[in-house]
Structure 1
Amino acid sequence: MLLYDRAGYADSDPNPERSLKSEALDIEQLADQLELGPKFYVIGVSMGSYPIWSCLKLQGVALVAAVVNYSWPSLPKSLIKDDFRRNLVKLTLFVLKHMPSLLYWWMNQKCLPTANVMEKNPVFFSERDQEVLKRTPGFELLSENKIEQRSIFDNLRGDILVGLSKWEFDPLKLNNPFPKDESVHLWVGYEDKVVPVELQRHVMEELPWIKYHEIPHGGHLIVYDTEVCESILRALLLNEEPAKYIPLPGTPKLIAAS
């Protein structure tokens, strides 16, 4: 198994010109340099999942707590009109495009009470997610002292702009790229407050060829659950279908801010 750092993360050089295409090309070039051949699997987690939509013709892929882009044309307005995240994303994209220095200042100032809206915020993280944040050093990236570094801020800015702005294609209109035994898996936490489960279920309904798995008490950080992580690998590599992750009937209401 290979874990690689996307452009601008950890030891990878930043790419100020990053795009959906450049993200896919990075994966292709890495596979070529390592001589993996055409048959390998890719797993994308959270914000790192959006490049995976350009890699669906591999042996198989898994999207874990994948971001859903509110700019996808086929997302029904009735589904997202009351979702507070949609307006938050719109505002964030506007500020990142036109006033990035102002946002950088606001996130690092010390006078106002809230400098980092994401860090351990119960609006965005379930109780299980908050427990993960307490014990997982990898999430220092979200902490205030990391955001203070301009290079990290600029990299996150570029990543968000690519992942959540308008794309050149609509993933919900894709045809099944797998005529044989390959597969796409979508793993979702029922209590995910970053990407609500009803959006993920809509993706499943629009793309019935995706194998959908729903963690009953999982949040956005389900990949840090050892049992879930093992199930992700076994489903992708061995084509196992874990019965306990079949979604519950019915569609939940949007999780509102509290």
Structure 2
Amino acid sequence: MGVVNRRNSAAHTSNQNKTTSIQLPLGIFGTVLAVLFIGFVAWSYQTIQPPPPKICGSLNGPTITAPRIKLRDGRNLAYKEHGVPKDVAKHKIIFVHGFDACRHDAYVAKTLSPDVAEVLGVYIVSFDRPGYGESDPHPNQTVKSLALDIEELTDKLGLGSKFYIIGFSLGGQVVWRCLKYIPHRLAGAVLIAPVLNYWWAGLPANLTNEVFYQQKLQDQWTVRVAHYIPWLTYWWNTQKWFPSSSLIADSIDLLSLQDRELLPKRSDRKNHVAQVRQQGEHETVHRDLILAFGSWEFSPLDLENPFPNNEGSVHIWQGDEDLIVPVKVQRYIAQKLPWIQYHELQGAGHLFPHVDGMSDTIIKSLLSGK
């Protein structure tokens, strides 16, 4: 019996040793997995977090070269003046630049005939939208906040109780916001090829689906990310696994035949293009995507006529061969808002403001209300 017990005891001890020898690797493996998982989460978090902006005037930040006004929340907006001096101007206009641009890209102001500006008494001020050029970033920027920034800019510059506003491309979308939030300050408005938001209430699903799927696949996904998971916008547009926004990449595929012919007229951009994103891509082009295609608290199709007594006018100018902003949607919006004067240009692309004499036509139409 003693022998049997010793064998049983030995067998028991052997089983314990085997159990121990199995549990030890499993414990190590679990620990390794946990460490790898934590490392992956940390890496993923760092990957989706945009770097801090390089604020103009800060240590190691870009230098300040433009005049700026300080807003009530402490941010600064850089601006540039065009046309006749504001003290003698009869008409004062704010120009809002488009996507991936800055105050120097005030196309209507730059190509306006000096004679027209002089005779009509036109003063135009363009400004860097938050984060662009030399204007401070606005991390809490909303659809409404930029309209209020524009109102404060005009007050700080002493432009009076009423002013005109012109916006190009994504800047045209900003004009919708001004028509919503500060209509009482407007003397008139122009939206030049304004960017649309596919999720605006009131747009027919069949129409938005049609134009949405006409985009490149990479742009469809860029817009989806900006709308549904905006916190991944920085990662999506900086990762190397899949192609991201062709607009950020400045793809020539987005240009119509006329646009390509007009490119030489934009050659002066080489003098300032480095300023556009100098404070960081996230504070400029990425934040633009989030605001342009995110969830809005209003739809332009619900807006009411800000000039019921014809004391001003609102205009949309659109090229019928624009490959960036689909003409079909602009037609629909113009039909639903009959108080808007809609001007469709045959054979025109997205860059039609560069056509000789176009700026004169737009300004004259705005100031005459026709």
Is residue 183 of structure 1 aligned with residue 313 of structure 2? yes
What's the CA shift string for 1:34-60, capped at 9, x where partnerless?
A: 111222100011011222113232100
Which structure has more strand as a fraction of its residues?
2
- The one-letter code matched in structure 1 to 2:291 is V
What TM-score, normalized by structure 1, do the two folds share? 0.80
Who is 1:253 aligned against?
none
Q: Structure 2: any 5+ residue segments left out of the alignment?
A: 1-123
Who is 1:76 aligned against?
204
Q: Structure 1: any 5+ residue segments left out of the alignment?
A: 241-258
CA distance in 2, matches of 1:49, 1:188: 11
Matched positions, count = 234
What's the CA shift string for 1:100-140, capped at 9, x where partnerless?
A: 3433434xx6x99x676235535421012123334414666
Aligned residues of 2:165 and 2:190 also touching (Cα < 8 A): yes
TM-aligned CA deviation for residue 99 of structure 1: 2.8
Aligned residues of 1:185 and 1:212 also touching (Cα < 8 A): yes
CA distance in 1, matches of 2:369, 2:238: 48
What's the CA shift string for 1:181-231, capped at 9, x where partnerless?
A: 211100001101111111100010010000000111111112222322111
Correspondence 1:213-232 to 2 at 5 A = 213-232=343-362
Aligned residues of 1:38 and 1:59 also touching (Cα < 8 A): no
Q: 1:117 aligns with which of 236, 241, 246?
A: 246
Aligned residues of 1:44 and 1:63 also touching (Cα < 8 A): yes
Structure ID, larger Rg: 2
What TM-score, normalized by structure 2, do the two folds share? 0.57
CA distance in 2, matches of 1:82, 1:197: 12
Q: 1:196 aligns with which of 315, 321, 326?
A: 326
For residue 75 of structure 1, give the secondary structure of its aligned residue in structure 2. Answer: coil
What's the CA shift string for 1:2-25, capped at 9, x where partnerless?
A: 111111121111111111111001
CA distance in 2, matches of 1:176, 1:101: 37
CA distance in 2, matches of 1:182, 1:229: 19
CA distance in 2, matches of 1:5, 1:150: 12
Percent identity over the alignment?
Answer: 36
Evaluate the alpha carbon distance shift between residue 160 and residue 173 of structure 1 in structure 2; reply closer, same or farther with a 3 A threshold: same
For residue 185 of structure 1, give the secondary structure of its aligned residue in structure 2. Answer: strand
Who is 2:233 aligned against?
100
Who is 1:17 aligned against?
140
Q: Which segment drifts farther, 37-46 or 97-106?
A: 97-106
Higher RCO, 1 or 2 (CA under 8 Å, sep at least 6)?
A: 1
Evaluate the alpha carbon distance shift between residue 89 and residue 206 of structure 1 in structure 2; reply closer, same or farther with a 3 A threshold: farther
Who is 2:301 aligned against?
172
